[in-house]
Amino acid sequence: MTASTSAPHNHRYDGLILGASLATLDCVDGYGEIADAALAWRDGRIAHIGPRAALDAEPADLAATVIHADGWITPGLIDCHTHLVFAGDRAREFELRLQGASYEAIARAGGGIVSSVRATREASEDELLRQSLPRARALLADGATSLEIKSGYGLDFDNERKMLRVARRIGEILGVRVRTTYLGAHALPPEYSDRADAYIDAVCEWMPRLHAEALIDAVDAFCEGIGFSPAQTRRVFETARALGLPVKLHADQLSDLGGGALAAAFDGLSADHVEHTSLDSVRAMAEHGTVAVLLPGAFHVLRETKLPPLQAFREHGVAMAVATDCNPGTSPLLSLRQAMQLSCTHFRLTPEEALRGATVHAARALGLVDAGVLRVGARADFVQWDIGHPAELCYWLGGRLARRVVADGRVLVERGERD
């Protein structure tokens, strides 16, 4: 793989990459392969895509930068569900679970989400950024070009605001698109013990203030027996709808509270986890176009056995996205490609389904209309992989497969030939 820059010229494109095979995913089935391809971009958007042999001029006359490559190029991966802004870790809880403690028991004993809240509240904004940036960089190094980042470890106005500000700063520093999700209704903070309805009042009161600072792209909640009830979740979603904000939902992870249907009733972008989602909820999600976000990292770490209704999702045409759920307690996962592998291993997704789940359908789960595929006009977000076939992205357990990661036509990650 070589790159060259030509002398000043009135070029048609900012950049042109030649020789690799493309998995465009711009099709209903299959990878949308173009062998020995040419992919060009201008002003951060894909401007040309097709076989190299079809170029109408010499590459050096077409683009300021010409890259000769091999392997495969896919759309940039999109991690549509993360909690990567937090302080501290919960390695001790991992140990306790291995000794037999349940997720619910740990949470009710003051561990779980609330323990991350304590550490996050104690960290300054700069310290929170310092701890969170390496996690974001790890995701980028393995092919992610867009990230969703939730709040939810602050659980008061100032600390939720701090988390959302850090998420915005991560996008600015790393040069990637970050979609922020307000997850104030994540857990009940200690100061609101036994006053869940009062806390929901506060969550709803903070929302327009945070939205006025341009810190919220979507709103989420944890609708679960150890979280918040469907009625309380509905109040949060009604507030979001009044502000014109889309919603997502931690739905049906540990029990069936009708979370999938509740998200769909508000035209939710996604219902996430969905292990216990009922057929009625599947039908509602299909009717409203709500994406099912599969989170195999948490399924794996918690050693769950209840599978999401995968065949029902397929039969009813519910799009299935795949994400890391990167978080300190139940999914300390820093590779979306590894989440794709786990979705194949645990959920029996095909490699094609997993790749679409981390690109095409992940874009839908964030409301993105210009990402997740390689087509003219889409964002120039793509990854060059050192692989012989796209199935290898889900075949290898770990390893460094991303040769070059590009977002908006700018190189984020590049490995040398000897790396």
In 253-359, alpha helices (H): 259-265, 279-288, 296-301, 310-315, 336-347, 351-357
CA distance 193 to 209: 24
Q: Which of 325, 334, 345 has the alpha carbon at shortest distance from 395?
A: 345
User: Which residues are annotated binding-site positions for N-formimidoyl-L-glutamate?
Assistant: 153, 327, 329
**Which amino acids are annotated as binding site for 4-imidazolone-5-propanoate, given as ranges?**
90, 153, 186, 253, 330
Tokens of 9: 């010229």
Q: DSSP characters for 107-166?
A: HHTT-THHHHHHHHHHS-HHHHHHHHHHHHHHHHHTTEEEEEEE--S--SHHHHHHHHHH
Q: Known binding site for Fe(3+): residues?
A: 81, 83, 250, 325
Q: Which tokens sit at 73?
A: 């190029």
Longest dimension (CA), the chain: 70
Binding site for Zn(2+): residue ranges? 81, 83, 250, 325
- H or E element in which residue 104 lies: helix 103-108
Q: Which residues fall in the annotated binding site?
A: 81, 83, 90, 153, 186, 250, 253, 325, 327, 329-330
Angstrom CA distances, 149 to 139, 177, 180, 366, 383, stand at 12, 10, 5, 11, 21
121 touches 187 (CB < 8 A):
no
SS3 66: strand
User: What gap in Å lies between CA 325 and CA 300, rounded to an integer?
Assistant: 11
Whose CA is closest to 216, among 263, 283, 167?
A: 167
SS3 of residue 293 by DSSP: strand
Q: Rounded CA gap, 86 and 154, in Å?
A: 9
Alpha carbon distance 166, 125 (integer Å): 7
Burial 305-337 (b: 16+ CB within 10 A, else e): eeebbbebbeeeebbbbbbbbbbbbbbbbbbbb
* 2 backbone dihedrals φ, ψ, rounded to 5°: -135, 155
Helices (H), 23-90: 59-62
User: Nearest Cα to 162, choosing from 121, 191, 203?
Assistant: 121
Q: How far is CA 158 from the centre of its chain?
A: 25
